[in-house]
Amino acid sequence: MKKLLLTCLAVLFSLSACVQMTPQPDPDTNLPTKEKEVFTGNVDYDPNPQYTPEEAANLVSANNQFAFDLYQQLKSGQGNLLYSPFSLYQALTMVYGGARGDTANQMREVLHYPVTDEELHRVINALNIALSSQTGSSGEDDQGFTLQIANALWAMQNGYIEPSYLDLLSENYAAGLRTVDFAQSQEAADLINQWAQENTNDKIKEIANPDMFNANTRLALTNAVYFKGAWRFPFQEADTHKQAFTLLDGEQVEVDMMMITEEFRALKNDQVQMIELSYFNSPMVMDLIAPAAGSWEAFSQTLTAGLLEDYLEQMSMNRVNLSMPKFKIETPEMDLIDPMQNLGVIDLFGMNADLSGMTGDKSLLISTLVQKAFIDVNEAGTEAAAVTIAVAQEKGMISPDPIIMSFDSPFLFLIRDKETGAILFIGQLMQP
């Protein structure tokens, strides 16, 4: 499949929408009752956290800064890219709630937390609630918008979780505790995938696989984000036609190009063109940004949250004759451990990890951090989803990566006695 290189910087998660933040009972399934039971901490979910507008604005800025830090790690080649920095930020911040010492310090620096630990989770809760402050209602043809956020904690049955950690997740993330038997790895994966499917309108059907779990897995944290919005100015299907799309290497591919002429906030100069597409009855928007021809590499290397803010300030209302392709992206499972280590979160994934806030000791590390994402952009609007999973495993049970050795060129060999050290034979193999 030909790769589209359209930059779709969709501001899906920073404005108000219809959010589900409270644990919902699972629908009837054929799963045993004990596997469907959801527990909470001693503290109920706080639907009215106290915060200041400055705290919220600073945390949004930190989230956006992390989003573009991560972009610099993930962009490569000429292929499509899609990820949800918001989903990863939420999942990592839930992990951070159990991190201590250098592990916590590294996470705090990379995630740019601008508030104290005491304020952090409360302000994140407030931001999630703010997303639901302007409810999306339906108009003609059931137009409207939806943004759903869900969090969950999955723990090994009969395992120990620090009550304070469970309280933290219950109070600020509405993350109920579901007990599972990770030793039954396929069953554990099926349960988490069912949860992901239910919380993304079937768009993310598989985030967990059996290889992630074993008898030494202690817990997993998941975040799901689902968005659906109809355009304020929908494209007409009759206007969609075949048109060439030019790839970075100059090759042209034929795509379904949508067209519309309308009033939009836009910016066009010698360096960049940018447009803001609004969703119906919603403050949500999608931003499209394209650099001048031949400057993609320089543009992508210098793209930051600050540069985006500069562009946004320069935009103004203009009548625009817009053409853009219909597109759909569904990412494979994206391993985020290496990108996070490159950014500076080192200890979390190794033997020096300190997650004692989760279980009261330093026996755990994060063995898995992956995300899958989906987006569909068409004449009617946009549908997008993402799920992130972080898995915590006992350190002593993690096998280090094997050293790869291949004696496929001339080598020396010898036979010796280990007790006396005497060498009995020595030779070299130049040609087998």
pLDDT tens readout for residues 168-187? 999 999 998 999 999 999 99
- Asked whether the beta carbons of 205 and 363 are under 8 A apart, the reply is no
Burial class (CB in 10 A: 0-12, 13-18, 19+), 229: buried
Q: What pLDDT shows up at residue 133? A: 62
User: Does the structure show a pLDDT above 70 at 5?
Assistant: no
**Half-sphere CA count of 33, side-chain side, radius 13 A:** 0
Question: In 216-326, where do the E strands start and end?
Answer: 217-230, 241-246, 252-268, 272-278, 285-291, 316-325
Q: Is residue 272 part of a domain?
A: no
Structural domain includes residue 337 = yes
The length of the chain, given as a count of residues:
432
**Among the listed ranges 12-16, 96-100, 246-250, 252-256, which one has the minimum average pLDDT value?**
12-16
What DSSP designation does 393 have? Answer: E
Please say if the pLDDT value at position 141 is more than 80: no
Please give the pLDDT value at position 273: 92
Q: Are the beta carbons of 337 and 355 closer than 8 angstroms? A: no
Mean pLDDT of 294-306: 90
Which pLDDT score, from 0 to 100, does residue 266 have?
Answer: 94
Percent of the chain at pLDDT exceeding 90: 68
For residue 182, being part of any structural domain is answered with: yes
Q: Tell me how far apart the alpha carbons of residues 403 and 413 are, in angstroms, rounded to a whole number.
A: 19
Dihedral sign of CA atoms 239, 242, 247, 252 in order: negative
Give the Cα separation of 43 and 33 in Å (integer). Answer: 24
pLDDT at 114 over 90: yes
Buried b (16+ CB within 10 A) or exposed e, 32-51: eeebeeeebbeeebbeebeb
Q: In angstroms, how far apart are the furthest CA atoms of the chain?
A: 90
**Within a domain: residue 309?**
no
Q: How far apart are CA 329 and CA 375, in angstroms?
A: 5
Measured distance CA(325)–CA(255) in Å, rounded: 6
pTM: 0.84
pLDDT at 153 over 90: yes
The reported pLDDT for the residue numbered 404 is 76
Euclidean distance between CA atoms 220 and 270, whole angstroms: 48
* DSSP conformational letter for 68: H
In a domain, 30, yes or no: yes
Residue 138 has pLDDT above 70, yes or no: no
Under 8 Å between Cβ of 300 and 75: yes
Lowest mean pLDDT among 135-139, 159-163, 169-173, 183-187: 135-139
Place 19 in a pLDDT band, splitting at 50, 70 and 90.
Answer: very low
Residue 139 has pLDDT above 50, yes or no: no
Burial class (CB in 10 A: 0-12, 13-18, 19+), 415: exposed
Greater confidence, 385 or 408?
385
Q: Which two tokens stand for residue 137?
A: 């209602």
Average pLDDT on 362-377 reads 97
DSSP 369-383: EEEEEEEEE-SSEEE
Here the tokens at position 68 are 């573009």
**Confidence at 243, pLDDT banded by 50, 70, 90:** very high
The chain-wide mean pLDDT, for the chain, equals 85
> Does residue 258 surpass a pLDDT of 80?
yes
**Any idea what the CATH number is for the domain that residue 95 is in?**
3.30.497.10
φ, ψ for residue 354, nearest 5 deg: -120, 95
Q: What is the mean pLDDT of residues 284-288?
A: 91
* pLDDT tens by residue, 386-408: 999 999 999 976 555 567 777 67
Domain span at residue 138 reads 7-230+328-397
pLDDT for res 401: 58
Report how many domains make up the chain: 1
Residue 33: predicted pLDDT: 32
**Strands 176-180, 145-156: parallel, antiparallel or unpaired by DSSP?**
parallel
DSSP 419: T
Say which range, 8-22, 114-128, 177-191, 388-402, has the weakest mean pLDDT.
Answer: 8-22
Say if 261 falls within a structural domain: no
Taking Cα atoms as reference points, which of 226, 44, 23, 18 lies closest to residue 132? 18
CB-based contact 292:41 (threshold 8 Å): no
